Amino acid sequence: MIGALSQLSVNWSPTAPLSAARAPKSEPKITPDGVELSLPAIDPEPLPQVSMKIDLEQFRVKPGEDIDLTRISTAPPEGVPTSKADSERLLEAMHKKISELQRRLFSENQRSVLFVCQGMDASGKGGTFKDVFAPLMLKTEEGIERASFNVPTKLEADHDFLWRITGEMPRKGNIGMFDRGHYEDIVEVRVANLAPEEVWSARYDQVKDFEKQRGDLGTKMVKIFLHIGKDEQKLRLEERRDTPHKQYKFNAGDVARREQWDEYQEAYSDVLTRTSTEQAPWYVVPADDKEARNLIIASILLKTLQEMDPQYPKLPDDLARLQIQ
């Protein structure tokens, strides 16, 4: 099984049910007496075929591989459509397959999956949860968790750096996503000069030991670096500043950190070089294009679950023979 899915292909046949991308957009009208809603008739024309083919090995950091992020493209790779409508149809098909495997993982209730997502400000960590992980929650109604890590509180800072991480590990049977995580305690601490070098540099080995132990205990960890370009970050920060419903996400800290872009790229390059293992690999995902990013991360999730091969538990004999009157 291992390696069998390093290439993923998805085809969407023209006879597939109506996708969200084609759903008519009409809004409910709230009247003094109630709510009114009418949707226009749907164009019955079949949708054209759309396909993707993603080689995931190109994104995986091999253990010990020397990574220099400035030499890695942030643009979408070949083989992935970038049109929103096509991507949404493909993602929907991916979600169907992933949720089948997620149900098995959940019912097995022995192991968990954790995606640790790191990246520069506005690199799409929140969007990744919304587009890739949250829809699984809607499909299966359970089994998805998210934790975001901010500047440590007084209580968190009064413990070792892995204390708050340990408390947020996903439950058995669940898929968790970390929006930032223990790598902040290397990268942010290093670039913002929050502790001496001997403190943060010892953490490369400490996180590897931690991840190995957690892996041995049943949590499959996959680490995603959302790789955006500096120009793309500028566009996204400007959009946050200028769009009323996005302004709540805009803050001066993001703009200030941008001035140390090169230091962050170097610190992340070192993390990728030093902490990718077979058991807990890093993937550098080109993230300038949100649709392609979603399809790549969904593919990594599907491959991870497929390799774990979760099984529905067998009903114990006494329950299997239980008579129902």
The footprint of ligand ATP (CB under 6 A) covers 121-122, 125-126, 149-152, 180, 184-185, 188-189, 249, 251, 253-254
Least spacing, CB of residue 325 vs ligand ATP, in Å: 56
What, of Mg ion, ligand ATP, none, does residue 211 touch, CB below 5 to 8 Å by kind? none
What are the Cα distances from residue 121, in Å, to 92, 177, 264? 27, 17, 11
Distance between CA atoms of residues 39 and 27, nearest Å: 9
Least spacing, CB of residue 183 vs ligand ATP, in Å: 9
What are the Cα distances from residue 173, in Å, to 104, 112, 169, 256? 8, 5, 12, 40
Residue closer to ligand ATP by CB (options 179, 291) is 179
Q: Please compute, for residue 263, the number of CA atoms within 13 A of its CA located in the half-sphere on the CB side.
A: 13
Is position 121 an interface residue for Mg ion (rule: CB under 5 A)?
A: yes
User: What is the distance, to the nearest Å, from the Cα of residue 322 to the centroid of all Cα atoms in its chain?
Assistant: 42
Helices (H) and strands (E) in the chain, counts: 12, 9
Tokens standing for 86?
A: 């096509």
Residue closer to Mg ion by CB (options 86, 184) is 184
3-class secondary structure, 301: helix
What, of Mg ion, ligand ATP, none, does residue 126 touch, CB below 5 to 8 Å by kind? ligand ATP
Specify the stretch interacting with Mg ion by CB under 5 A; choose among 25-33, 118-126, 131-139, 262-270: 118-126
Checking DSSP bridges between strand 112-119 and strand 144-148, what pairing results, if any?
A: unpaired
Residue closer to ligand ATP by CB (options 86, 232) is 232
Least spacing, CB of residue 237 vs ligand ATP, in Å: 9
What, of Mg ion, ligand ATP, none, does residue 152 touch, CB below 5 to 8 Å by kind? ligand ATP
Residue closer to ligand ATP by CB (options 86, 188) is 188
What, of ligand ATP, Mg ion, none, does residue 315 touch, CB below 5 to 8 Å by kind? none
Residue closest to ligand ATP, measured at CB: 184
Secondary structure in 3-state letters for 202-257: HHHHHHHHHHHHHHHCCEEEEEEEEECCHHHHHHHHHHHHHCHHHHHHCCHHHHHH
Tokens standing for 235?
A: 């566009």
Least spacing, CB of residue 6 vs ligand ATP, in Å: 30
Is position 254 an interface residue for Mg ion (rule: CB under 5 A)?
A: yes
What, of Mg ion, ligand ATP, none, does residue 131 touch, CB below 5 to 8 Å by kind? none
Residue closer to ligand ATP by CB (options 22, 180) is 180
* Burial grade of 143 (CB within 10 A; 0-12, 13-18, 19 or more): buried
Interacting residues with Mg ion (CB under 5 A): 121, 254
